[in-house]
Amino acid sequence: MLFILKSNSDPSQLVEKIVARSASYRVVDLYGRRIVVAWPDKLVEDIVDDSVEVRVKSSRPYQLASSEWKRDKTIVDVDGVEIGGRSVVVAAGPCAIEDEELAIEIAKAVKRAGAKMFRGGAYKPRTSPYSFQGLGEKGLEILKRVYEETGLPIVTEVMDTRDVEKVARYAHMLQIGARNSQNFHLLKEVGKSRKPALLKRGMAMTVEEWLLAAEYMLLEGNGNVVLCERGIRSFEKSTRFTLDIASAVYTKTVTHLPIAVDPSHPAGRRDLVEPLALAAVAAGADMLIIEVHLSPEKALSDNEQQLTIDMFEKLMTRLKAVAEAVGRSI
């Protein structure tokens, strides 16, 4: 149950009533509103208090992420780049940060082509412990240099609660990867950091579970969450993962949070990235996150799916046309 308070009202009486019924609660400041979240519903649904402007009983298990209480779409501001507005934001860059000069060169090229953010992994969640694990803090230093050189805000993955503070010092947006998207301690820490977060959908996660993962961050007072569809596991083996555009479209109808799509990881092959990216924008994605490398065949990770600069430039031209056709811009 959400009790949305009148501005400048004191929640202490309401809280007393909730506690008297042995219910749980949390006072959260989100999007300029003070909200008392109380549960379970059946203990608190008849509480009336002067401090409350509106009570919302959600029909969905995720309450703060639900569009039931917030009809207007949330715009997440990442260092001046707005995600969720009319403009579709493209974040591009290599799978992993490998080298400073290379990273800066890629960043300059994707910026020229119209990317508004730079992506690149310093901490890499690799399936095999023998695969390249990323440069760690050295990679973060390189990302900082990329920002200084290009002004592109940085999105990079954080894998460990112990690194949240450190990664937040370098990055403008913290990515929670598919393999960590139900690491609830990590979700809480990123929530507490109040940094914009990009929450990838786990490869075996339902939309409801994905939104409940976002709910963990919202409940910590972090409303700057972008949900990222990146493909799920299915019986189909022709692509690396099955890009679930239908779920991305559905998710937009039940949440106020912006939706991003990662066409690179489900494709698993360079030649499939462009059509998937075009489809995502046509379907209403607010953001794309795309892997681009100067010489993809030499990349230390995901070398099959990273685009060349040429391919990325061509993609951006076509994306602009599709964005315009659906009333957006890039």
In 3-state terms, what secondary structure has residue 90? Answer: strand
Q: Which residue is nearest to Mn ion (CB)?
A: 95
Q: Are strands 2-5 and 52-56 parallel, antiparallel or unpaired?
A: antiparallel
Residue 307 binding Mn ion, by CB under 5 A = no
Site string for Mn ion, 77-96 (x = CB under 5 A): ------------------x-
Q: For the stretch 220-240, what's the b/e string if a residue is b when 16 or more beta carbons lie within 10 angstroms of its beta carbon?
A: bbbbbbbbbbbbbeeeeeebb
* ∠ CA 59-64-69, rounded to 5°: 65
Q: Which of residues 84 and 93 has its CB atom nearest to Mn ion in the complex?
A: 93
Q: Cα 142 from chain centroid?
A: 22
Please list, in sequence order, all residues whose beta carbon lies within 8 angstroms of the beta carbon of residue 190, skipping any fewer than 6 positions away. 158, 164, 174, 176, 197, 217, 222
**Cβ(207)–Cβ(246) under 8 Å?**
no
Residue 215 binding Mn ion, by CB under 5 A = no
Q: How far is the CB of 299 from Mn ion (least distance, A)?
A: 9
Residue 302 binding Mn ion, by CB under 5 A = yes
Piece in contact with Mn ion (CB under 5 A), picked from 61-69, 147-155, 242-250, 302-310:
302-310
Closest CA to 198 of 121, 299, 109, 274: 121
Q: How far is the CB of 184 from Mn ion (least distance, A)?
A: 24
Q: Which of residues 35 and 287 has its CB atom nearest to Mn ion in the complex?
A: 287
Q: How far is the CB of 95 from Mn ion (least distance, A)?
A: 3
Q: Which of residues 270 and 328 has its CB atom nearest to Mn ion in the complex?
A: 270
Q: How far is the CB of 102 from Mn ion (least distance, A)?
A: 15
Q: How far is the CB of 264 from Mn ion (least distance, A)?
A: 7
In the complex, which residues of this chain contact Mn ion (CB under 5 A)? 95, 302
